[in-house]
Structure formats: structure tokens, C-alpha cells
Amino acid sequence: MTRIKCCGMTRVEDALLAAHLGADAIGLVFTARSKRQVTIERAREIVAALPPLVSTVALFMDDEASLVRQVLEEVRPDLLQFHGSEKDAWCVQFGRPFMKAIAMGEGAAALPRLRDYPHAAGLLLDGHGYGEAGGSGKAFDWSLLPAGLAQPVMLAGGLSPENVADAVRAIRPWAVDVASGVESAPGIKDPDKLAAFIHAVRATDAA
């Protein structure tokens, strides 16, 4: 079964809808580099409203360790996700499971970085270029992915209700992740797109 993470939640109602439609995880973006940045207060409201067994992922991009610690203490996410040039040793300092995003936008030049995060619980492969923010809506060339990566792969970057079935069939990733492809505006989820995205993944799994 392909896990589904819906990222860039800024409203309680969107996070609840994603959960009730069957999303496995929601993402909360804390970096100021994002158009989907949430305050700690709003993040706490979202986390408190979620039903059990829906995971919460806190995202950062080259932020201060003090912000990560504050979020861990005050929001209590299940998983961290680092989106910038953070090194494996830096990510490990928090003693929590983390995903490392790898910018795949440069094509084959990005492949060596897939081996740089031995302590990551998984790799989130995104479509933007190195140093650029996530949530870009850019896809990358899925055929670049080497077989037999040691860590679970979360496929991201330009996924939408229209292309996610192809992505799941082509890659069979551990999980898929979407932000802009299910939005009407940055941080505002479109209920129809959200439902269509989750349905497309589940239908592909079942086929």
C-alpha cells in the first residue's frame, strides 16, 4: 500500500479532510522560506484536531536548530523533514526520526546525494533544483531513480490527481507526497483535488 502525505497544511479543516479521506500523514511547514509557513500556535491546533494514527511531519529548510527544538517541544510532530543543505550529522542531533529531501531537479547530478543520509528514516525525492524551496509543483525525471535504494522512498514534486497513478505504477514508492497539486492557492487545499488524489493512489494500489 502506498502511503500518502499531504503537505503544507495551514488550516484545521484541510488537515481533517485529508485525514478523513485516508491520508496517512500531513506536513506542517515551519520554514520562513515557504508560502505555506504555519505558526507554532496554528500547528498545535491542527495536531490537536487530528484523529489517531495520522502522522504529523514538521518541515524545515536550513533553519536554526533552536526552531526545530521549539517545534519538537511545543508541537510534538511524529517525524522531521529537512529540505535544505542540512548534513546527516546535523539532522541526527535531535534524536528523532527524520526524512531528508533530495532535490532531483538537476537530474543525474543529484544522484550522489542519495547516499549522503544513512541515518534518515527515508528519502523524499523532490522535483525542484538544489537550494530551491519545496512545494514548487515541479516534477523530475522518474526514470533516473536507481533500483535498490536502502531507504524507503517518498516520491514528491509536481504530483497531482492526473499523474499520481502513473507515478505509483512507475516507481512503486513507499509513499507519495503532494502540496501544490491539491491546492486552490498556496496553503489552501481544494477538497475535490484532495479527494481525487487520494482516490487515484488507492485505486492504483488496488488494481
Cite the active site residues.
7, 126
Smallest distance from ligand LARABZUK to CB 136, Å: 5
- Report the relative pairing of strands 188-189 and 183-185 from DSSP bridges: antiparallel
Which residue(s) pair with 100 in the sheet? 82, 123
C-alpha cell at 161: 490527481
Smallest distance from ligand LARABZUK to CB 101, Å: 7
Site for ligand LARABZUK contains 175 (CB under 6 A): no
Q: 3-class DSSP state for residue 144?
A: helix
Site for ligand LARABZUK contains 122 (CB under 6 A): no
* Of residues 69-98, those binding ligand LARABZUK (CB under 6 A): 83
Site for ligand LARABZUK contains 152 (CB under 6 A): no
Site for ligand LARABZUK contains 100 (CB under 6 A): no
Q: How far apart are CA 207 and CA 202, in angstroms?
A: 9
Q: How far apart are CA 40 and CA 131, in angstroms?
A: 25
Site for ligand LARABZUK contains 113 (CB under 6 A): no
Sequence-separated (6 or more) residues with CB below 8 Å from residue 31: 37, 59, 60, 61, 62, 63, 83, 84, 133
- Positions that interact with ligand LARABZUK (CB under 6 A): 7-8, 27, 29, 31, 33-36, 59, 61, 83, 126-127, 133-137, 156-159, 177-181
